[in-house]
Amino acid sequence: MPESTPSDPLSQLMQGMGIPETPEDMRKLLDGFAPMLNAGAPEVGAVHERVEVAGAGPGVSADVILPPSPHAEGPWPVLVYLHGGGWICGSPTTHAKLARRFAERGYLVFNIDYRLAPEHPFPAPLDDCVAAIRWAGQVAAEYGGDAARLAVGGDSAGGNLSAAAAVALADDPSVEIRAALLIYGVFDFAKLGDDEAISKLADQPELAAAGDQMIELMAGSYLGADRAAALLADPRVSPIHAASELPPSHVVCGTGDPLIAQARDLEAALREAGVEHEYVEIENMPHGFAQMEFFPQAQQAIDAMTSFLKKQLG
């Protein structure tokens, strides 16, 4: 076992609000956490909010974030960002600061507001993300972006969706994904909630006691209560089964995260498949740490991700 994971405000907030039992509880939890996550967001060039994503489901939109003036005028490389939230919560608002961090470094960012489960279960969120990546490639030039230098990235559920969408678009002539940022994601649903993952919560008893409950809340909402083996092995659900189809990928996770085994397994699959990748483990960091900038490791992780993007996209 690694050393104890540093105390983080998400755990503290859950102690105050109780363990989420419904998607609505999860949404209130993350929305309550958002002001802290977004405090001190960097200045950017402009934000076009709630731009309709053509070809996606009803109501799907994107916040389009332009780099600030220190960066030369475009065309800028493009990052399509898919937020986390267990497939049931989250939005461009909850991940506004993190998305701006990439714009701050010179990327045109499309922060996607895809549909959420359980109102819109699999494959609707993934279909929205696939459509949003295609759309971003089509309209990037209108915002000063270069669609020939396009990457996708996301955290947690967004990491899952980023990998699954990249696999789905691997042979699509309409868009080329040149890099992926896979931030503490779920890549193999069959192993979600296994003993190793739950054991990572041993020093957070308020989470450990409800680990199975929360996993079922999220996975059950997205995939349904009866999850057949064939569904769990579908690369659209568990993209580790098509790791060879992924673009050059940067995989990052904290060792205090219940999903660390998912990251390690994906790294092994990428290595076996000969896919160019970087793998970063950050000691003791909890799930969601890239948004928790009171940890200096958050900025270090963002630095590493943007360095990877620069190498892949120029």
| pLDDT attached to residue 204 | 54
- Who has greater pLDDT, 199 or 276? 276
User: Comparing 33-42, 102-111, 204-213, 221-230, which segment has the lowest mean pLDDT?
Assistant: 204-213
Just list the catalytic residues.
156, 257, 287
Domain segments of the chain as ranges: 9-313
| Integer Cα distance of 67 and 37 in angstroms | 20
Q: Mean pLDDT across the stretch 5-11?
A: 50
Share of the chain above pLDDT 70, in %: 89
Judge whether 248 and 178 are in contact, CB under 8 Å: yes
| Integer Cα distance of 33 and 27 in angstroms | 10
Q: Which tokens sit at 106?
A: 């010179």
| Integer Cα distance of 217 and 309 in angstroms | 34
Radius of gyration of the chain measured on its C-alpha atoms? 18
- Over residues 20-74, the pLDDT tens digits come to 899 999 999 999 999 999 999 999 999 999 999 999 999 999 999 999 988 878 8
* Secondary structure E strands in 28-175: 46-52, 61-66, 76-82, 108-113, 145-155
Q: How many helices (H) and strands (E) does the chain have?
A: 11, 8
Residue 168 belongs to what H/E stretch?
Answer: helix 157-168
| Integer Cα distance of 92 and 81 in angstroms | 9
| Integer Cα distance of 296 and 6 in angstroms | 12
Is the Cα torsion angle 95, 30, 264, 254 positive or negative in sign?
positive
Question: Is the peptide bond between 286 and the residue preceding it cis, with omega within 30 degrees of 0?
Answer: no
- Over residues 74-102, the pLDDT tens digits come to 899 999 999 999 999 999 999 999 999 99
Locate tokens 């600030």: which residue?
A: 68
Judge whether 88 and 23 are in contact, CB under 8 Å: yes
| pLDDT attached to residue 44 | 97
Is it the case that residue 122 has pLDDT exceeding 70? Answer: yes
pLDDT category at 296 given cuts 50, 70, 90 is: very high
| pLDDT attached to residue 19 | 79
> 171 phi and psi, to 5 degrees?
-110, 20
**Architecture of the domain made up of 9-313:** 3-Layer(aba) Sandwich (3.40)
